[in-house]
Amino acid sequence: MIPRTLFTAEHETFRNTVSRFMKEQVIPNDDKWQNQGYVDKEIWQLAGKLGLLCVGIPEEYGGAGADKLSSMILIEEQAKANISSLGFGVHSDITAPYLLNYGSKSLKQKYLPKMVSGEMIGAIAMTEPSTGSDLQSIQTTARRAGSNYILNGSKTFITNGWNCDLVIVVAKTDLAKRAKGTSLFVVDTSMEGFTKGKPLKKMGLKGQDTAELFFQNVSVPQENILGHENDGFIYLMQELPWERLQIAIGAVAKSRAALDWTIAYVQDRSVFGKQVGEFQTTRFRLAELSTEIQIAQVFIDRCMELIQANQLDVETASMAKYWTTDLENKVVDECLQLHGGYGYMWEYPISRAYVDARIQKIYGGTNEIMKELISRSIGLGVNKK
């Protein structure tokens, strides 16, 4: 094994805290949350108390000002715990950074401390019923009216959508333009005209609330715009590499966990008087998966070094997202196969990992879109003749 060199002793102490939180507070509730389709809000407040939310937010807004490696640890431990419910990543490492990086001082003061404590749950709403991959074609509008914007439209598939207290909404401030007419707004549930649909029923991540959001003549104060009007697309492009790397981190950690469960299982299960793990086909298959996971880990760890130095580019993040989530889906499929019929039973972690893995190739930009971005970076843009 190639030793990982990213983490300090302090990081490892933090990892123990996160791992204990997962074991004691989250895993025992995961089935209940899966059945109801959302987590109880108390878990957010508890996580806030323990310093597990928005760890990267600076101390002046109540956070720990920690580095992205701490976020990586949170993602890895959640993946290892095989949790199908928490939307902490979207809240802490996707939504909060938009506020931090593009929000005015007063917006940050108003919302970030409450996000750190778990009093307010955040979400980000880009996708609409009629458009997901083609983000430039969104139809939600924000029309200026005096010192406010009037927001109209709907969003779908929004993680934390049922539980959220504030949402970053991607809307068109100039419908005639595509990317250059896009702006980002902080909308909170106290604003009249903002309503939510019920949590959507999904094939996996069943405890994570995913919902539709509706905006009907919502009056959003001008100070709730992030950055400058019409620059929203630039901000999205700046933030997406980290969002995609987070998905990749989870994919590698889940692949490793699935491999570990399977190595244990094949040594325990006997067929034709032999352990399943003694068949050469099993040993070679697991050796191959182990190799690919190791390669993925080295790549992801290098991407972490780059993102910490603000040097991770769009195409490398896209490579990480598409390749590791494809790998994760291959790993959970082949590991489930090695469990035989037991792999199909809900009480076995591999069956949960299998259904949860599928979305990884879709959200955060589909893997086809990742290949589109990579192909452009190697000079194969659509409009090139």
Ligand X SMILES: Cc1cc2nc3c(=O)[nH]c(=O)nc-3n(C[C@H](O)[C@H](O)[C@H](O)COP(=O)(O)OP(=O)(O)OC[C@H]3O[C@@H](n4cnc5c(N)ncnc54)[C@H](O)[C@@H]3O)c2cc1C
Residues at the interface with ligand X (CB under 6 A) = 90, 124-127, 131-133, 157-159, 202, 205, 210, 359, 362-363, 365-366, 368-369, 372
Extended strands (E) in the chain = 122-125, 141-145, 148-159, 166-172, 182-188, 194-196, 210-221, 225-226, 270-271, 274-275
State the nearest-atom distance from the C-beta of 265 to ligand X, in Å: 28
DSSP 264-291: HHHHH-EETTEEGGGSHHHHHHHHHHHH
φ, ψ dihedrals at 320, nearest 5°: -60, -45
Nearer to ligand X, 56 or 365 (CB): 365
State the nearest-atom distance from the C-beta of 224 to ligand X, in Å: 18
State the nearest-atom distance from the C-beta of 103 to ligand X, in Å: 18
φ, ψ dihedrals at 4, nearest 5°: -85, 135
Token pair 């970030």 is found at 112
The CA-CA-CA angle for residues 25, 28, 34, to 5°, reads 110
State the nearest-atom distance from the C-beta of 199 to ligand X, in Å: 11
Nearer to ligand X, 75 or 125 (CB): 125
In contact, 185 and 169? CB cutoff 8 Å: yes
User: Residue with CB nearest ligand X?
Assistant: 132
Measured on CA atoms in the order 229, 234, 235, 240, is the torsion positive or negative?
Answer: positive
Q: How far apart are CA 202 and CA 204, in angstroms?
A: 5
Nearer to ligand X, 14 or 162 (CB): 162
Measured on CA atoms in the order 20, 26, 27, 28, is the torsion positive or negative?
Answer: positive
Nearer to ligand X, 294 or 377 (CB): 377
Catalytic residue status for 243: yes
Q: How far apart are CA 20 and CA 107, in angstroms?
A: 33
State the nearest-atom distance from the C-beta of 277 to ligand X, in Å: 34
DSSP 98-125: HHHHHS-HHHHHHHHHHHHHTSS-EEEE
Nearer to ligand X, 3 or 379 (CB): 379
State the nearest-atom distance from the C-beta of 270 to ligand X, in Å: 38
Nearer to ligand X, 127 or 297 (CB): 127
Cβ-proximal residues to 194 (8 Å cutoff; 6+ apart), any chain: 187, 188, 213, 214, 215, 218
The residue annotated as part of the active site, out of 76, 212, 243, 328, is 243
Just list the catalytic residues: 243
